Structures are given as C-alpha cells and as structure tokens.
Structure 1
Amino acid sequence: MSNKNPPAFTRRVYIFNFLSLTISILILAFSWAATALATSDSKIEMGISEYKKTDGNHAIIRPKRERKSTTDHSKLKELQGPFFSGPEVTKACLECHNTAGHQFMKNKHWTWDYKHPKTGQHLGKSVLINNFCTNARGNEGMCAQCHAGYGMDSSDFDFTNQGNIDCLVCHESTGTYYKTPTSKGNKACSIMFEGKPAIDWTKIAQSVDMPSRSNCGKCHFYGGGGDNVKHGDLSSVLFDPPKAVDVHMSEA
C-alpha cells in the first residue's frame, strides 16, 4: 500500500499553508501601518489635507510674518503709483536700486544659460533638453511665466535691457501676483488663467520684501503647468509643511 498522500489532501495542505502565510503578512503590514500612523501627525491625510493651506492663487493662508526688509516700501513716494504694468514697477525699483539691474542680469534666473567652469558644457533652460518639458525653444510663451522678466516670447528676447526685469516675481509678498503667457498657445491651456482677478500693481509694488518660500514655490512647485507635476519632490505642501511631510522645512 502506498504511503503517498492523495492529491486532494496535498492540495488542501498547500492552500492552508498559503493562506496562513498571507494572513501573517497582512497582520504584520497592518501592525506596521498602525504604528506609523500613531507616531505621525494624525491630522494629515496624505494627498488631500496638506493642500488646504493654499488657495487658488497659491497665496499662503496663514498670518503674515514680520517683514524681513529694512524698508517699508509702502511708504516710499516712488511707489505710490499708480502703476499699470510690471515694467513700470521695475523702472521705479531701479531708480533707487540703481545697480541691481546689471547685477541681476548675470543671474541664471535671468539668463537661463550656464557654462560649466570645468567641462565647458553649455547648459541652462534656454538650450538644454530635459526628460519632461523637452525644451523651452518654441514654447517661450508658456515657459516664460517662470522667467524673471517681461516680454519673452521667442529666442530673440533682449537680455541686455534691464527694463525687462521682473522684480515682483521674487519680491512681492501679497500672494496675488501671477503671469500669463506672452504668446498664444493651445486653447486647453486657457483654463489655467480663467477667473483670475486683475492685478493691483500699486499694492503689489508696495508689498516688496525679501524673497520667501512663497515666491520660489510659485514657479518651482508648479513647474510643468501644475502642482507637483514636473518635480516629484516639490509641491505646494512645502509652502507650510507639517513635520510628517518635511521635518526640515516645517515650522510646526
């Protein structure tokens, strides 16, 4: 008589062992998840609630911090306006900051151009092809919303004219400043600019302060046309993140 187990019995043993192993793994996984949640900020629902601290204009909804600037620009006669465009504000800025324009025109935020000092490589947004947005050439109208200048709509932009510098993109502190494309793009992109209020140029000019995370984030958190689109580690949550998201940038 054979000592081998019948096939049906063997299958039942295999199924029982498989189910036991699966249940054990699930128990361990749930235990780990429960521990992680218990030690993290219970108020954070990842992917949802951390974005509630920003509004449609990417303005931070929190008490305004003490000003960093040593000058209250709202009291300067040069900024009493009225202003009706960005270049008008720039002209007023340069009347006092009379060397800032030439200094800034050496900055990569302006040139979009960089030559590596060791390799001689020609780099920068104006010439480089990346694996997400490919290249800005031919699409300057959309890309230039994050250029620290006014009027870039082609590769013929005048980088020698300091009157084209956009001071506000890095220095305004109202959270209401925005830029629209300088050239016509796909109609689908127009939804990005629907319903935006008119810019109060005088109010924004008088708000200038030292650059903050809010200024940087408007471009770097929304690169590629949306929140967290281009850079997987940069999103609007970093305007005011809880420790559970970024322990270094959190002020909690």
Structure 2
Amino acid sequence: MSMKKRYFIMTGLIMLTITALVLSFQAVFASTPLDGEEALGRTLAKQAVKNSKRWTTVDHAKIDALNRDFTSGEEITQACLSCHSEAAIQFHKSIHWTWLASGDKSDMRYGKAGYSVNNFCISGNAMEDKGCLSCHPAWNKKGVQGEVNCLQCHNSSGFNFNEALGDIEAFSKDGDPDTKEMMKDLQNEVKEAVVKINFPTRKNCGDCHFTGGGGDGVKHGDLDTSLTKPNRLLDVHMGTDGKDFSCTRCHTTVDHNIAGRIYTNPAVATRKSLLEDDLAPKITCESCHSSEPHKNDSKMNDHTDVVSCQACHIPTYARVNPTEMWWDWSKAGKMKDGKPYVEEGPFGKPVYKSIKGEFKWEKNVVPEYFWSNGSQTSTTADDVIDPAQIVKVSHPVGDRTDPESRIFPFKIHRGKQPYDKVHKKLLAPMLSGEKGYWETFDMNAAIEHGNKTIGIPYSGEFDYVETTYAFPITHMVAPKENAVNCTQCHIRENSRLASITELYMPGRDKSNLFDTIGWLSVFGALAGVLLHGLGRFFTRNGKEE
C-alpha cells in the first residue's frame, strides 16, 4: 500500500473518531429531541385544563335579596349570607380573615395579626395599624370585629362601595330634598354594581397582592399590576392571549382556604400530579405537568429531582414594572423647609420618602438561587437576633440531602429596620394613626406604641440592623423558547448557580480527578480507534488491494 493511501486512511480514522465524540457529546447535552413528539408535561397540562371555562347556574341580578336599596356594607353581607349560609363561618377560619398562620388567637407567633415582621412596612401591629386594613376583607377597616366584605373578592364592577355607602349614611341624616335625591342616585349605583358577582379574578386578588408593602411591585417582584392583563410573553399561564388563568386556577380553594405557602408552612407537603391524585391542589408545576414534563429521551428530565421548574422557566422577574429591592428605614424623617418630601428616581418610582426612608428599584432582575423544600424560616418580633450579622427575617429552608428540596429562584429584598438594643429583638413601630410615625415622625414613640400593641416589651433604646427577606419567584413564567439556556448555569464564569456549591456541575466546576478521568477516556477512545486501525493495517500480510 502506498504511503499516500496510508495517510488518507489514518486521517479518515482520526476524523471519524472526532466526529463520533462530538456527536456523543451532543446527544448527552441535547435539551430536546429533534422529533415532532410532544412533551408529556405539555400533553398532561392540556388535558388538565381541557374544560377550564367557568360556568354558573345563577344570575345574581335576579336574586331578590340583592335587588333592594342598601345603606351599609353589613346589609350587603347579610344579603349574600341569605343564600350562602356557611360562607362567613368558613371565611372566619381562613388566614385571609384571621391574619394568623394558626388561625387561632392563642398562637400569635406567625401572622400580620401576630408577631410577624418584614422589612417593608414592618408590622401589622395586631390589626391596629389601620393603614394595613385596606387589604383586610372586612367593611370599613374594622378588622375581625367587622362583617366579611364578600365583594372585595367576588365583585367585578370596580365600584368603590365603602365610599358610596359612607356617603349614603351621611346623606341619610340630611333632610334636604336635593341630598335625598343624591342618596337615591347613589343607592341605584350600588344596586347596579352589587349584582356583578364573579369568581375571584386576577384584579380581585391583585388589589392586595400586587400592591402589598405600600405600592405596585414593592414586595414580590413576580406579582404586580402588569399581571392584571398580561400577555403570554410575561406569563404563559395568565396571558390574555394564552390560557388567561385566574389565580384560583392554581391556588385551588376548599372552604375558603386558598392553597399556598403560609409563613413557615409549605404550600404542599409532597409533590403529586393529578394522575396520582386527581383531588390534589394544583399549586405545584408537577400537578399538571408531572415530574417528567419533557420528552422521554430529553436530558432535561434528569434535572427535575434537583432543579425546580421555576429556576429554568422564569429567567427574570419584574419584566414590565420595576420592583423594590432596598428599603432603609434609618434614613426616614428628613425634611425640606420643615416639611416631609418625596424624591423621585429611575422608573418614576420614589427613591426617598420622609415617612419611609430610602428605596432602590430594579427591572428584569435575575433571581438569586437557594435550596428550598417549600418552607421558610420566619423571624418574629419575639425572636432574639444577632445585630452584628445581617438578619434573615425570612429565608428558604432546604439542602442538597433533602429529597423534597430543589434549587429555587428567589427575590431577596434588603433593607435596614429598627431593633431593640437591649432585648436584641426586631421592633414593630406603629406607622399610621395619631400616634403613628407618619404623623409624629418620632420613631421612639412609634416603637413604644407599636410594641405595646402587640404585647412585646421595649427597652426604650433602638438602633437599625440590616435585614433580608426572601420571596419565592413562581409567577411570570416565560414561554419555553425564552427559558434559561443550559450554558447560563453550566459555565465557568458568571454561572447563575454560582452560589449553589453543594454539588458538582459539569461546565461550571473544575475537578482534577474528573478532568483526568474525562481526558483519559477521550484519549483512550482515540487510541483504541488508532490501534485498531493500525492493527488492521499491519496484519494485512503486505497484501495490496
């Protein structure tokens, strides 16, 4: 055989070896197969929402109890209860009413009506801070002493019932004929609006949950007014040009108890698909998509026991509206010409308010990632802290060894808030009302009043401590084509999962042992092919073709 022919044979063998290795790596790391088969998770999800259109057997405009003049919210509630006799009893046991995680006043540890604090408006002061009660579903900010306001969650009119009914009450005490006529007009408006009854819409839920903490997008990052009428690019489930889901499509409800995490309690104890339990809450991705949502031969299915769906399918949050990332109470109280002021910054959002302090806002925020089993720690006003450290007011619970834990995306809100220098506890200043900070600008007096309200002793000495508060990111699910790319995590520099160090991640991590084994395998395979080719070549007994 000529040298030229031998050269071409050897070159061909080497090229075949390299091609085989490249194809092997592509097969291992491919995220989706090339065939047209639909992913199992998508098929199951379509089946789960096949008959998702709401239907009803009642027209509330034809209900006699609602076709009358109302002079108070309590009268409207009694009209509702004339048919829905058990609704108030059920609702009085829910956290939306009690604002206590336990639902029982004997356990005040967790809840806005208890000892819970955050690094936003800090405390609900046992429902005595009236500024918080606009989001409590009782009439006229009466808290648990009032009647349930059914319309806050079940009316689609957008009508301001509290204002109208307050005017009606005032007009009823005036004998002037013109005033009586105005009252009659208002009563007709109330009567027209009160019959617009519905299952809770995104706007009903969002009136509180989109603006928690005192403004649009302040708290969650993945919940703001952009989700009232989002498109599919913002959220594939809630997009009006997509599935147009309401919140209760996933936050399923039994006896007015709505599925979801409550302080330290996870949303569900175990992940189950509807195939395993057709009555399971639909609060997890696995409920509709199963634990192996991708195509059968997809490498991505090997990730679901370690990586949450949200980690890949929510690349950023606050994609339309900005979200608050920093709140420094230590800067509050500054005045201009003896008066409180507001300073506006980027995105048209305040970066300073005399009544609240300093803020920072961001858009298109990449989440921070932690191990999470669905539960979170919660530091209360009754817990001792270490002021020399950053205090984690709320933080995910989980680790690599916990089978229920997954790598999960979070918004971490940072700030500074007051703490007791003697008792080493976070404090609960009263903000609204005559004795509140927003009226007096006296933080010490506001703390004294607030802590007395919740029953926690205050030494009279305070300072400020840096804190963090973690919010799980689970809304604003992007279309699959916009999901996080493999190389955004499996990369040496600037990996999204740089903080997750408890496991070896190919592409991100370097191990001399693994690298040696890998290169030995590559060169071993190459040497095997070359030796085989050489063996075949030199054992031909010198015969020429």
TM tier relative to shorter chain: 0.5 to 0.7
**In the alignment, structure 1 residue 82 sits paired with structure 2 residue 65:** no
Q: Which of 1 and 2 has higher RCO (CA within 8 Å, sep 6+)?
A: 1
CA distance in 1, matches of 2:206, 2:162: 14
**In the alignment, structure 1 residue 205 sits paired with structure 2 residue 188:** no
User: Which residue of 120, 141, 146 corresponds with 1:132?
Assistant: 120
Query: Displacement, 1:227?
Result: 1.6
Code of the aligned partner of 2:73: G
Query: Displacement, 1:81?
Result: 1.7
Query: Displacement, 1:146?
Result: 0.6
What SS does the aligned partner of 2:80 have? helix
Q: Identity over the aligned pairs, expressed in percent? A: 40
Whichever structure has more helix as a proportion of its residues is 1
Query: Displacement, 1:177?
Result: 3.7
CA distance in 1, matches of 2:110, 2:219: 19
CA distance in 2, matches of 1:76, 1:140: 37
Alignment of 1:141-220 (within 5 A): 141-153=130-142, 157-158=144-145, 164-177=147-160, 200-220=189-209
What SS does the aligned partner of 2:158 have? coil
- Which is greater in Rg? 2
Whichever structure has more strand as a proportion of its residues is 2
Q: Please, what is the CA RMSD of the aligned residues? A: 2.7
Q: 1:145·1:179 contact (CA, 8 Å) conserved in 2?
A: no
CA distance in 1, matches of 2:91, 2:200: 14
Match of residue 211 from structure 2: 222
Q: 1:169·1:177 contact (CA, 8 Å) conserved in 2?
A: no
After superposition, the C-alpha distances for 1:18-38 in whole angstroms (9 at most, x for unaligned) are xxxxxxxxxxxxxxxxxxxxx
Report the number of matched residues: 162
- Structure 1 gaps, min length 5: 1-65, 181-197
Match of residue 193 from structure 1: none
Alignment of 1:52-67 (within 5 A): none
CA distance in 1, matches of 2:55, 2:157: 14
Q: 2:100·2:108 contact (CA, 8 Å) conserved in 1?
A: no
Match of residue 92 from structure 1: 79
Q: 2:117·2:123 contact (CA, 8 Å) conserved in 1?
A: yes
CA distance in 1, matches of 2:123, 2:210: 19
Query: Displacement, 1:165?
Result: 0.6
What SS does the aligned partner of 1:240 have? coil
Query: Displacement, 1:69?
Result: 3.3
Code of the aligned partner of 2:62: K
Q: 1:68·1:210 contact (CA, 8 Å) conserved in 2?
A: no
After superposition, the C-alpha distances for 1:69-96 in whole angstroms (9 at most, x for unaligned) are 3211011111012113221110111111
- Structure 2 gaps, min length 5: 1-52, 164-185, 242-545
Q: 2:230·2:240 contact (CA, 8 Å) conserved in 1?
A: yes
After superposition, the C-alpha distances for 1:33-69 in whole angstroms (9 at most, x for unaligned) are xxxxxxxxxxxxxxxxxxxxxxxxxxxxxxxxx8743
Query: Displacement, 1:121?
Result: 8.1
Code of the aligned partner of 1:141: K
CA distance in 2, matches of 1:89, 1:208: 12
Code of the aligned partner of 2:207: K
Query: Displacement, 1:168?
Result: 0.3
